[in-house]
Chain A
Amino acid sequence: MRYEWKKLLAQVQICLLLLGVLVGNGIWFFLRCSQDLGGYTMAQIRQVYAAPDTLEADIALLEDPTAAPPLRYTQRPWAELALLTAARDRIAAARDYDAFRQGLVDDAALKERLGLLGPADSFEARSLKRGQAAYEALVGVTPEPVFQGGMEVLLTDRGMDLALGVAVLAGALVLTTLERRSGGMVLSRPTRRGRAALFCRKWAVLACLTGAVWATLLLTDLAVAAGTLGLGAWTQPIQGVYGFEACPAPLSVGGYFAIYVLWKLLWALSWAGICLAAGCATGSPILAVLVLAAMLGGAWCAGESGDLWLRVFSLTRLARLEELAQSAAYLNWMGTPISRPWTALAVLAGMGILSTLTGLGLFCLLPAVPRKAQWPLPLLRGPRHTNLFLWEGRKLFRTQRAALLLLFLALTQVASYGPRRAENTEYGYFYRMYSQILAGDPSPEKDAYLTAEAARLEELTRAFAAAPWDTELYGQLAAEQPFREAQEQYRALKPGQRYLDQTLYRAYFGPEGLRDGLWDLGKVFFVLSLALAGLYPAERESAMTLQLTASGQTRRVRRYKTLWTGILALLIWAVGTLPRLLWAVWTYGPPDLLAQAGAIEGFAWLPGFVSVLALLLSTQLAGLTLTVLAAWIVTFFSRPASTQVPALLLALTVTELPILLLAWWIG
């Protein structure tokens, strides 16, 4: 056991990572607590709570445009109004809780009386009844309107989940993949029972680590919350915390918090079991992370689905305990409504136990030394050449699994963009129709066409006013709005600009396009980190640095590695980011490359000499630059690392964190 601890903590980079995770979490939570919520902060709400008397009067003054706005907490009237309304909502939610609760009960009773939910033994009707009973039982719960902002932020914070997940993953990977890589398994514990005992020790170490990290995270957050927003009143019912009004369980804030602590611990332990199993199954940190990422992707998709059952089986969704507590929704078990929190608990525990047992089985049964079969055909045997550059490529693509990762990325991209179809709306159809006519340089014919079409539509409108029952006319009039847009766009063209059908550019540069682009970059960084982080430490893990130094070729090897890193970055960039462009062009037709890019929606600020081609090229170039920068960062962590796991995790964390933050920021 002591040995396992030592193995874990002797890794300087792992300690750094853990420390970074803990500190990062503290900073993140501090920022969350002092975050701008739209002109105001949580701390300002707390101030309003301290002086509730003037609240209503102030709001009235602020809503009155003729009155002088009382600016007690902020500088701007709109921010002040937003702040006061937010505070009023919170105060009202607690003060009027009983009415709210009674409303839920009455609502259910009304629905039942009207028979809106089918026969009395249907699932809907029965779950409604259960919910009604739960809320009825809460009679007498009277939260006082005290400020609970600290708990409000803490209980719904996702930063801790991420930090905990990363720390647990780091521990699991070190414990399961390090020994096998360095061949230590051959020496230690060859019997099944011995290996089972070893696995149990590893599990115990990981569980301790999980508990310790969780405790630290929690204490940090509590301290930050106490320092910035206060911890509120823990004896109050949880229904007084904003967002928890509809909680159907008779819990105090303190009680809920205790459940929260245990729940997250269980969640982290389940995740630890899954990580251990993945590490034991693959024996390689790269493959383990790949498998886990695929699983998390699946879990995320399940969690985003509307189906409550799917959500209950999604590990990522299960981290959000508050969702289970904030409403009385039930799962449909063959017509019987069953409790969502209890089912989730069973699922979570089941996941943990099952994965740990799987890990145990794999650890005991898999051969200690991965003995690959011989290449079956002489032709398929490794190439026999003495080209060092190619050998370095082989190390990257086969030993470090860059080829597999590229394939994985390619499949992911095909899966995400392949089945995607153009959005077919009537509006879009007409807009494209007009755009096809107007596309290109403005001309007198187009002007004439626009005038004629405008006249025709006006005629139609008049005819429709006379005969509003005419569905055919109504159908034709659907062209009016799109026509207006196309016409306005045409009129707004500056000299030298050409009319561009915006559909393609909207799909590529619009908000959804940007979000997809961001995810693509995330995938690119992910694959890049996995493929490159181990490149240098692999030499040290295998002690091959001794041979390389002795041969005097270290520099040449490093140069080739750098070259291959560039090649790989280029490949990953191409595979990861080009599909989106290809999809857009494939779906909406080729762009007018030589037109001025200033005619694209949102790019009017571009000077006239920038063509669409230049714009597209420079966005691609920006993506490539970011990819190369990420490759550089990964190499930066990889170069000095003595083992792969910490380099891999550090690289992953540092490259993916900005993506996650940006994704969170743009929503």
Chain B
Amino acid sequence: MELCFEGLVKNYGKKQALKGIDLTLTPGIYGLLGPNGAGKSTLMNILTGNLEQTRGQITFDGRDIRTLGPAFRGRLGYCPQQPAFYPTFTADEFLFYMASLHGMDRKAAETRISWALELLSLARVRHEPIGGFSGGMKQRLLIAAALIHDPDILVLDEPTAGLDPEQRIAVRNLIGRVALNKIVILSTHVVPDVEFIAKELILLDRGQVLCRQTPEALLKAMAGQVWSLTVDEDQVEAAQSLGQVCGIARAGDQVAIRLLTPTPPKGAVEAAPTLDDVYLRFFGPEAGL
């Protein structure tokens, strides 16, 4: 199973949202990381057929997915970024509808749906209309809908948006569990979502892949670039100019500053890099806002 993006370009009028994406994906979880507006959704929409690319192609096992048609789409599970469901349907009805969309038979649908609802702790509300759900419940329902037909390729567009920390972790673990033998593409701008489960991280910015690495490699590349500097309060201003600040914390009556810089500042201690540091390094401080 191999999914290839070849020179994928997408223009919205004059604006270039994707500027030539080349990627080859094999089973495993890929964290598609990038700030808002990076082009993550655009990429996923092209993959799911909701957008037409301007140039380039996506191939699945060597064949253009546009010619594969339903044969490819049937193996796709998609969790859109927007709330996409019928508000008057109950959770149960909606999932059965999705199951029929994927051509499942009734028995299989019943087991899978019960499984998914249980897993995403929606079993209690399964007979309530979705319109009355909270944001987190809606989001979990969308994830459930993407999972019920056991797809080979799972496309999750910011699946953890609107979830509380506990649910975030639960969803992350769930994805880690179901991802076996699947190509999972999970977009997010929140690093911890993919920190421990991703096989590789794909960093996307302004329509370009900045880098594609395993989390370990990324961290390794950052070695010797993150420093912790402890200074007095009145020196904080000055210390900030020494590099990119990725953390300020009070340490007793002094202040500990985490700095991102290739040249070690005087008196600094090397710190262990985290993926948050990686994110900041690639997307700059303004990306965090």
Which A residues fall within an 8 A CB radius of B?
181, 183, 369-372, 374-375, 381-382, 384-388, 391, 395, 398-399, 538, 542-553, 557
Contacts and interface: CB of A to CB of B under 8 A. Distances in A.
Interface in B85-114: 85-90, 92-93, 96-106, 109-110
Contacts of A549: 48-50
Given A370-B131, A372-B132, A543-B80, A552 B69 contact: yes
B163 to A, nearest CB: 17
B269 interface: no
B74 interface: yes
Closest CB pairs A-B (n = 3): A552-B73, A371-B132, A543-B84
B55 interface: no
B129 A371 contact: yes
Given A546-B80, A547-B145, A374 B99 contact: no
B74 A552 contact: yes
A549 B45 CA distance: 10
Given A372-B129, A544-B86, 20 more contacts: A369-B131, A370-B129, A370-B132, A372-B132, A382-B90, A382-B96, A384-B106, A385-B100, A386-B105, A386-B106, A399-B86, A399-B88, A546-B48, A547-B84, A547-B85, A547-B98, A550-B48, A551-B76, A551-B98, A551-B102
Contacts of A551: 73-74, 76, 78, 98, 101-102
Interface string B131-147: 11000000000000100
B83 A183 contact: yes
A374 B96 contact: no
B69 A374 contact: no
B72 interface: yes
A395 B97 CA distance: 10
A376 B42 CA distance: 43
B84 A542 contact: yes
A547 B132 contact: no
Interface in B116-160: 127-129, 131-132, 145, 155
Contacts of A386: 96, 99-100, 103-106, 109
A553 B48 contact: no
A371 B131 contact: yes
Contacts of B69: 552
B90 to A, nearest CB: 6
Max count, chain B CB within 10 A of own CB: residue among A395, A542, A549: A542
Contacts of A183: 83, 87, 131
A299 to B, nearest CB: 31
B67 interface: no
A557 B96 CA distance: 15
Contacts of B84: 542-547
Contacts of B285: none
A384 B131 contact: no
A547 B97 CA distance: 11
B210 to A, nearest CB: 27
B82 interface: yes
Contacts of B99: 386
Contacts of B48: 546, 549-550
B70 interface: yes
A403 B69 CA distance: 35
Nearest to A370: B131
25 contacts: A183-B83, A183-B87, A370-B87, A384-B92, A386-B103, A386-B104, A386-B105, A388-B101, A391-B96, A391-B100, A399-B86, A542-B84, A544-B84, A545-B50, A546-B80, A546-B82, A547-B98, A549-B50, A550-B80, A550-B155, A551-B102, A552-B72, A552-B73, A553-B70, A553-B102
A648 to B, nearest CB: 17
B256 to A, nearest CB: 39
Chain B interface size, as a band, is: 35 or more
Contacts of A381: 90, 92, 127
A550 B76 contact: yes
B87 A542 contact: yes
A371 B69 CA distance: 38
Contacts of B86: 395, 399, 538, 542, 544
A388 B80 contact: no
B92 A550 contact: no
Interface centre among A369, A382, A549, A552 (most CB of B within 10 A): A552
A385 B70 CA distance: 22
Contacts of A372: 88, 129, 131-132
A395 B128 CA distance: 17
A556 to B, nearest CB: 9
A386 B104 CA distance: 7
Contact of A553 (B78, B83, B101): B101
Q: Which of A382, A387, A545 has the most CB of B within 10 A?
A: A382
Nearest to B97: A391
A543 B82 contact: yes
Contact of A543 (B83, B92, B132): B83
Contacts of A387: 100
A550 B98 contact: no
B100 A388 contact: yes
Interface in B198-240: none
Nearest to B78: A550
Contacts of B88: 370, 372, 398-399
A181 B128 CA distance: 18
Question: Which of A375, A381, A391, A546 has the largest number of chain B CB atoms within 10 A?
Answer: A546
Contacts of B98: 547, 551
A530 to B, nearest CB: 17
B204 to A, nearest CB: 20
A446 B104 CA distance: 72
Interface string B171-200: 000000000000000000000000000000
A547 B96 contact: no
A370 B128 CA distance: 12
Nearest to B107: A386
B115 to A, nearest CB: 15
Nearest to A398: B88
Contacts of B72: 552
B131 A548 contact: no
Contacts of A553: 70, 73, 101-102
A398 B128 CA distance: 16
Contacts of A384: 92-93, 96, 106, 109-110
A181, A398, A544, A548 interface centre (most CB from chain B within 10 Å)? A544
A538 B88 CA distance: 12
B191 to A, nearest CB: 26
B26 to A, nearest CB: 21
Contacts of B83: 183, 543
Contacts of B82: 543, 546
Contact of A544 (B85, B90, B92, B155): B85
Contacts of A542: 84-87
Contact of B93 (A382, A547, A552): A382
- Residue among A381, A387, A542, A547 with the most chain B CB within 10 A? A547
Contact of A547 (B80, B87, B129): B80
